[in-house]
Amino acid sequence: MKIYLDGKLVEREDARISVFDHGLLYGDGVFEGIRAYNGRVFRLKEHLDRLWASAKTINLKIPIQQKDIEKAVIKTLLANELFDAYIRLVVTRGCGDLGINPTKTMSPSLIIITDTISLYPEEFYEKGMEVITVSTRRITQDSLSPNIKSLNYLNNILAKMEAVRGGAIEAIMLNSEGYVAECSCDNIFIVKNGVLYTPSGSEGALLGITRETVMELAKNKLKIPVREERISVYNVYTADECFLTGTAAEIVPVVSVDSREIFNGEPGKVTISLIKEFKNLTRSTGIPIK
C-alpha cells in the first residue's frame, strides 16, 4: 500500500510522522473521510471545501492548494489501483515542542490514505441496526464547533465505548439540553408522517456531506419535505422510520432505539428509497480517477 506523505508516495511501513507532531500530541489538526465509487471520487470538492473551512477555523494553513490536493488524491488512488475506496485526508499542525502553543510548530503535514472500508455488517443494511442513547453528551457549540472535523475524536470515542458496553454498535449522543445531536460516527434522521427530520447544526450535529446529499435526494428525487429541527428522544422512539448517514456508513436503517422498536421493526420505505437513490448517484457522479 502506498501512502501520500508530504508530497511523496511511500510504502505503508515507511509512512512515519514525528512523535513531536502536534497532531499526535494534542489532536491538533483536521481531516476528511471521502469515498470513491466506480472509478469516481464522490463530492471531492465539497469535502475539500469543508477541510479548508475546518483548517481556517483553527487557524491552520494547509500547505498546498486545493487543486493540488485533488491531484494528490487521484495519484494515491491510482498508485494503489483502487477505484472503489475510502480516502482519509489528514492535515496535522506539524512538529513543535512539548507545549501546546501552535506558533512554535513547523510546517503542517499532509497525509492521504486510501483503502477499502466496511463500517457495519451487510445485514444491518438489509435488516436494520439497533442503537442506544448514551450518557456522554456532545461537546457544546460554545466550547468547540461540531463542524470542525478535528483529529480529537475523544468525545465520540467515549460515546462509542459506552454503546459497545451496552451491547450496541452505535450511540445516539444528546446535546447539553437533552436534544438529539448526532451519533458517535454518523448523522441521524427520522421520518414522521411523510416528513424527513434531522437535527440542525445548532444542536451539535456535524453538517455531513452524506447528510446534505440525502436531504437533496429526499427533496428533489422523492419529493419529501425536509426539516432541520430539534429532535427529542421521544421523537425518535415514536418515529415511522429512522436511519443514519455518514461517508463510511453511507445510509443504514435503524430498527430499534433503547429497546424500543421503530414502527414495525423493519427498514422503512423512505429509507429503502433513499438507499437506492444514493447508490445510483454515487456510481454515476464524481471526479474520474484517471
For the residues 265-272, what does the mean pLDDT come to?
A: 97
What value does the mean pLDDT of the chain take? 97
Do residues 105 and 22 lie in contact, with contact meaning Cβ atoms separated by under 8 Å? Answer: yes
Rg (CA), the chain: 19
**Predicted local distance difference test score (pLDDT) of residue 203:** 92
> 122-282 — its CATH code?
3.20.10.10
Sequential DSSP letters for 43-55: THHHHHHHHHHHH
**Predicted local distance difference test score (pLDDT) of residue 212:** 98
Total count of residues recorded for the chain: 290
Please state, for a pLDDT cut of 70, what percent of the chain lies above it: 100
Q: Distance between CA 267 and CA 265 in Å, rounded?
A: 7
Q: Say what angle helices 66-79 and 44-57 make with each other, to 10 degrees.
A: 120
List all residues 6 or more positions away from 195 whose beta carbon is below 8 Å from its beta carbon.
224, 225, 226, 227
Per domain, the residue ranges of the chain are: 2-115, 122-282
**Collapsed DSSP state (helix, strand, coil) of residue 284:** coil
**Predicted local distance difference test score (pLDDT) of residue 19:** 97
Q: 261 falls in which pLDDT band (50, 70, 90)?
A: very high
pLDDT at 118 over 90: no
**Predicted local distance difference test score (pLDDT) of residue 232:** 98
| pLDDT tens digit sequence for 42-54 | 999 999 999 999 9
Instruction: Enumerate the β-bridge partners of residue 130.
Output: 256
Helices and strands in the chain, H and E counts:
8, 16
Catalytic residue among 149, 221, 223, 279: 149
DSSP code of residue 150: B
Query: Domain 2-115 class?
Result: alpha beta
In the chain, the N- to C-terminal Cα span, in Å, equals 18
For the residues 140-167, what does the mean pLDDT come to?
A: 96
Q: Distance between CA 28 and CA 54 in Å, rounded?
A: 11
pLDDT at 290 over 90: no
DSSP code of residue 149: -
Q: Element (H or E) spanning 198, and its range? A: strand 195-198
Model pTM greater than 0.75?
yes
Residue 67: active-site member: no
List all residues 6 or more positions away from 67 whose beta carbon is below 8 Å from its beta carbon.
none
Do residues 4 and 78 lie in contact, with contact meaning Cβ atoms separated by under 8 Å? Answer: no
Do residues 196 and 225 lie in contact, with contact meaning Cβ atoms separated by under 8 Å? Answer: yes
